[in-house]
Amino acid sequence: MARAYFGTDGIRGRVGEHPMTVDFALHLASAAARVLAPQGGSVLIGKDTRLSGYMFESALEAGFVAAGVNVMLIGPLPTPGIAYMTRRFNCDFGIVISASHNLYDDNGIKFFDASGGKLSDELEEQIEAQLAQPPLTRASRSLGRATRADRSRLFYQEFCASTMPPGVDLSGLKIVIDCANGAAYKVAPRILADLGAEIVPVGCSPNGRNINDGCGSTAPDLLQLTVPGVRAHVGVALDGDGDRLVMADHLGRIVDGDQLLYVIARAQKEAGTLRGPVVGTVMSNLGLEIGLRSAGIEFRRAAVGDRYVLAMLRETQGILGGEASGHILCLDKTTTGDGLVSALQVLAIMKQTGRSLAELASGMQKFPQVLLNVKVAERFDPTGVPAVQQAVARIEQRLGADGRVVLRASGTEPVIRVMVEGRDEDTTRAAANELAKIIQGIAG
């Protein structure tokens, strides 16, 4: 059964347009209650800082309480914080109201199961199958209750700090922290400061409309300027819901998810704590694969999406994986991608080795990689089109052994993603433009 609403990371869309409406959220809560807590139970609901989060929070609360599910409202907290707190409170499931790295006009609804993991495709399909049913309202004696749990975010702060190696703190480090005016704006600065760092906060003043707007991991220019400007040792940038991470070295140069994965993997290899292969995606830079191979570390590629990275890690009994975008999974520390936990692992390596982030990342040479988004009216599989197949074969032959082409339809937007990688930037860019034009012609 094809899912109509759930994408690679929950349900997402423009606020006020189906499915991101109050009416749909109410129906979704009732459908989820029928599938995930048919005998009643409890759900933890968190959100980021979008203005629309208030109305979706209220709609979900009403739908769950009516269906006999107890609701805990924890307010703004990073997505991985909701995953952790769902386990901590022994809830049947958790929900995050967020559109991640998108601007405030969008919003989304993501689910976690009782273990803090993402729902299976089968459970998402079952929830969608219940959406046609009218919202459920139980008898008064069977209604759920709603309580606030805002102060409980301290448990998440303590958990993040506990993932640091024993005896290691951040004293002596000056860190610029950019929270994208999003969900981590309270907890991230407090965690770093409590560990002894001198912090310079940016993107920590949300107003409901400025999330991811010119700040955070998807717009790190401010971070790059601020780090050398205040003579900080390093910069940390999260996205709006706190599950993505990019960093900046002391010169203001961006260190992306692939490079951070390399840094953590090398350190774990040297410490003898790395288990299984490191897992990236088909979009991971070829330089990561080569850098890890030279360090004697096995590398595997999964489909795009942290849920697929997680599935391959479980299959191979690995503990470390991630994406260039900054979704990094440290399964020896937590169950899901956590920007704060990942940042703390890198900062701990800096403290333990006495080396700068620039030095630690220098062992990986990034290949030129061009990514273009081609807008289409309707999503389609470009790899099944003969004209595209012929163009890909032609380009791959031109690029040689050190080149790659990846085409895929986005799981969250009506675009086809064109990625070309090679040793020469001009040749790589020309090839990407050539493919994008062919796909545009097909899409009309």
pLDDT at 7: 86
What is the C-alpha to C-alpha distance for residues 313 and 276, in angstroms, rounded to an integer? Answer: 8
Residue type, 416: I
Domain-embedded: residue 364: no
Among the three residues 254, 276, 300, which one is the final residue of a domain in this structure? 254
Q: Into how many domains does the chain fold? A: 4
Averaged pLDDT, 248-268: 98
Whether 248 and 262 map to the same domain: the answer is no
CB neighbour list of residue 148: distance below 8 Å, 6 or more residues apart: 72, 73, 74, 75
Q: Name the DSSP class of 381.
A: -
Q: Name the DSSP class of 402.
A: G
Cis omega (within 30 of 0) for bond into 228: no
> Three-state SS across 298-331?
CEEEECCCHHHHHHHHHHHCCCEEECCCCEEEEC
CATH code at 175?
3.40.120.10
* Model confidence pLDDT, tens digit, residues 374-428: 998 877 888 888 989 999 999 999 988 888 999 988 766 788 999 999 988 999 9
Whether 22 and 92 map to the same domain: the answer is yes
Q: Name the DSSP class of 372.
A: E
Whether 288 and 315 map to the same domain: the answer is yes
* 333 neighbors 345 (Cβ within 8 angstroms): yes
CB neighbour list of residue 108: distance below 8 Å, 6 or more residues apart: 9, 10, 11, 12, 13, 20, 97, 98, 99, 100, 102
- What rounded mean pLDDT belongs to the chain? 95
Whether 271 and 167 map to the same domain: the answer is no
Task: Identify the CA nearest to 45 among candidates 144, 127, 158.
Answer: 144
Domain-embedded: residue 266: yes
Structural domain boundaries, residue 173:
156-254
Domain-embedded: residue 363: no
Whether 145 and 16 map to the same domain: the answer is yes
pTM: 0.91
Whether 164 and 230 map to the same domain: the answer is yes
* 30 neighbors 133 (Cβ within 8 angstroms): yes
What is the distance of C-alpha 184 from the center of its chain? 13
Among the three residues 135, 151, 167, which one is the final residue of a domain in this structure? 151
Whether 190 and 208 map to the same domain: the answer is yes
Whether 262 and 236 map to the same domain: the answer is no
Domain-embedded: residue 65: yes
Whether 43 and 136 map to the same domain: the answer is yes
pLDDT at 218: 95
pLDDT at 381: 84
* Model confidence pLDDT, tens digit, residues 278-329: 999 999 999 999 999 999 999 999 998 888 999 999 999 999 999 999 999 9
Whether 107 and 143 map to the same domain: the answer is yes
CB neighbour list of residue 241: distance below 8 Å, 6 or more residues apart: 48, 78, 79, 96, 98, 100, 101, 182, 183
2 pLDDT above the threshold of 80: no
What is the C-alpha to C-alpha distance for residues 73 and 146, in angstroms, rounded to an integer? Answer: 7
* 156 neighbors 81 (Cβ within 8 angstroms): yes
What is the C-alpha to C-alpha distance for residues 86 and 156, in angstroms, rounded to an integer? Answer: 11
Whether 259 and 249 map to the same domain: the answer is no
Long-range CB contacts (< 8 A, 24+ apart) of 269-274?
A: 269/295, 269/296, 269/297, 273/332, 274/319, 274/320
Domain-embedded: residue 3: no
Question: Token pair for residue 125?
Answer: 């399909």
Whether 97 and 28 map to the same domain: the answer is yes
Catalytically annotated residues: 100
* Model confidence pLDDT, tens digit, residues 172-206: 999 999 999 999 999 999 999 999 999 999 999 99
Domain-embedded: residue 406: yes
Q: What single string gives the DSSP state of each residue in 135-196?
A: PP---GGG---EEE-GGGHHHHHHHHHHTSPTT---TT-EEEEE-TTSTTTTHHHHHHHHTT
* Model confidence pLDDT, tens digit, residues 36-58: 999 999 999 999 999 999 999 99
* Model confidence pLDDT, tens digit, residues 316-366: 999 999 999 999 999 999 988 999 999 999 999 999 999 999 999 999 999
Domain-embedded: residue 290: yes
Domain-embedded: residue 190: yes
pLDDT tier, 240 (very low <50, low <70, confident <90, very high otherwise): very high
CATH code at 420?
3.30.310.50
Task: Identify the CA nearest to 273 among candidates 216, 378, 348.
Answer: 348
pLDDT at 249: 98
pLDDT at 194: 98
Among the three residues 134, 151, 168, which one is the final residue of a domain in this structure? 151
